Amino acid sequence: MSERFTGSFTQQEPIPEEGIAAALEVLRHGRLHRYNVAEGELSQTALLEQEFAAMTGARYALAVASGGYALGCALRAVGVGPGDRVLTNAFTLAPVPGAIAALGAVPVFVGVTEDLVIDLDDLAARIGEARVLLLSHMRGHICDMDRLMALCSEAGVTVIEDCAHTMGAAWNGVPSGRHGAVGCYSTQTYKHMNSGEGGLLITDDADIAARAVLLSGSYMLYERHLAAPGPEVFERVKYQTPNVSGRMDNLRAAILRPQLQALPQQVARWNDRYRIVEEGLRDTPGLRLIDRDPREAYAGSSFQFLLLDWAPEAVQEVLARCAARGVELKWFGGAEPVAFTSRYDSWRYAPSAPMPASDRVLAGIVDMRLPLTFSLEDCAQIARILRAEVSAVFQQG
C-alpha cells in the first residue's frame, strides 16, 4: 500500500514560552501602543528594533504592521511617487507589485532564471527604465548580489530588498537586506518569525530612516525609538513627510523578541529539512532541482523544484496525485491565481508584455512549505512520495 503523509503544511511551532510570558505582561499592564510607556520604561517595540538592527548590522531599524507595509514605506521613503516606474521581479508574490501600484507608481517586470532569481542580463537591458529596483528574494533564492549591486550602482538605481523569505540568510557573508538602501522583512505566520502579521525595515541612511519613522505614524514621538537617527535628522524631514500609520504594537514585539534570539538555530533546522528533501529528489526523472550558489547562505523554509517544459495537464496530475497522498504543493504556472500563487500577467493593475523565457520557467515552478513542525523523517517521507509521483507521471508522458 502506498504510504501517505498525515502532517499539516500550515501548522507552525508554538510561540516560545518566553514570548508568551512577555505578551502576558503587556496584556496585564495594557500598554499595547508602542508609544504608551510608563516613566523610565522602554517599549517592547523599541527594544525589538534595537535588537534587529544589531542582528543585521544596520544603523537603523523600524518595526511596522506588515511586510507589505514595510515595502510601501520604503518606496515612499526613497521618494517613489505617482507615475514613477519601479523595476521588480516577474516571479514574486502579489504584495510586491501591489506596494508599487498602491503608490500610483508603475511596476516594470524583470525576468526570472531557471535558478528562480532575477535575470541579471534582463535587468542590465532594462536598468535605464527606472531609478528604483524593488528586488524580491522570492521564496528564499538570492541572486548574485555583487553583480546586481554593481549594475545598479553604475546606473544610479536605488535598491530596496524584499527579504520576506530571506530573514537570517546571507550572500557572500553579508546578511540579506544589507546590500540595498533598505531591507524589508515580514513576520507573518508563514515567515521566519511569527507574530501573525508584522514587518521590519532596516537602513543605514539617516534621512530614509527618519522619513520611514514619520511615515509609520510616530507623530513627534520619534525620540522614543532606540534604533533611529538623532532629532536633527527629523527636523530636516518632518514637515514634508506624511503620516501613513502602520506601527507595530508592543504585543507583537514581545512575541517576536525571543524568536529573534533563536533565529540562527531555527534557520539551521529549516536547512536540515531542506537538504533532506533535496537529496531525496536528486536525479528524479523529469524534475529539475534549483542550483544554490555556494556564496548563498539560505533559510530553507520552503522548497521549490521545476517540471520544466511539462504539459500543464501533467503538472496538475502530479499535484493531484501528491495531494491524494497528503503532500500539498503549489504551482506558479496556472492561468488563474490560486492561494498565494500568481504570475505577473495576473496583476492586471500593472501593465505587462509577454516574457516568453520567464513564462517557460514560471510554467514549471512547483512550491512546497517546510514548517519546523515537520520532523526529519517527515521530510524524507515527503521526498519519497514526490519522487514516486513525479516519476510515475513522467513515465506516462
Q: Please check the confidence at residue 341 and state whether its pLDDT lies above 90.
A: no
Give the chain's mean pLDDT: 96
Q: What is the pLDDT of residues 116-160, one digit of tens each?
A: 999 999 999 999 999 999 999 999 999 999 999 999 999 999 999
Q: Can you give the pLDDT at residue 343? A: 85
Residues 6+ apart with CB under 8 A from 123: 87, 110, 133, 148, 151
Q: How confident is the model at residue 2 (pLDDT cuts 50, 70, 90)?
A: confident
Q: How confident is the model at residue 338 (pLDDT cuts 50, 70, 90)?
A: confident
**What torsion, rounded to 10 degrees, do the Cα atoms 155, 156, 160, 165 define?**
30
Assign domain 263-396 to a CATH class: alpha beta
Cell 545598479 maps to which residue?
Answer: 152
Q: Please check the confidence at residue 1 and state whether its pLDDT lies above 70.
A: no
For the domain bounded by 17-257, which CATH number is listed? 3.40.640.10
Q: How confident is the model at residue 333 (pLDDT cuts 50, 70, 90)?
A: confident
- Scored b (16 or more CB within 10 A) or e, 181-213 reads bbbbbbbbebbbbbbebbbbbbbebbbbbbbbb
Mean pLDDT of 234-244: 96
3-state SS track over 318-336: HHHHHHHCCCCCEECCCCC
Q: How confident is the model at residue 21 (pLDDT cuts 50, 70, 90)?
A: very high
The candidate with the shortest Cα–Cα distance to 332, out of 364, 289, 300, is 364
How many angstroms separate the CA atoms of 313 and 93, rounded?
Answer: 24
Domain chopping of the chain, boundaries:
17-257, 263-396
Q: Can you give the pLDDT at residue 290? A: 97
| CA distances for 307 relative to 273, 293, 310, 315, 368, angstroms | 21, 20, 6, 7, 14
- Residue with the bigger pLDDT between 1 and 203: it is 203
Mean pLDDT of 55-69: 98
Within a 10 A sphere around the Cβ of 224, how many other Cβ atoms?
17
How many angstroms separate the CA atoms of 345 and 90, rounded?
Answer: 9
Q: What is the pLDDT of residues 156-183, one digit of tens each?
A: 999 999 999 999 999 999 999 999 999 9
Q: What is the pLDDT of residues 278-324, one digit of tens each?
A: 999 999 999 999 999 999 999 999 999 999 999 999 999 999 999 99
Q: What does residue 259 show for φ and ψ, rounded to 5 degrees?
A: -65, -35
Mean pLDDT of 84-91: 97
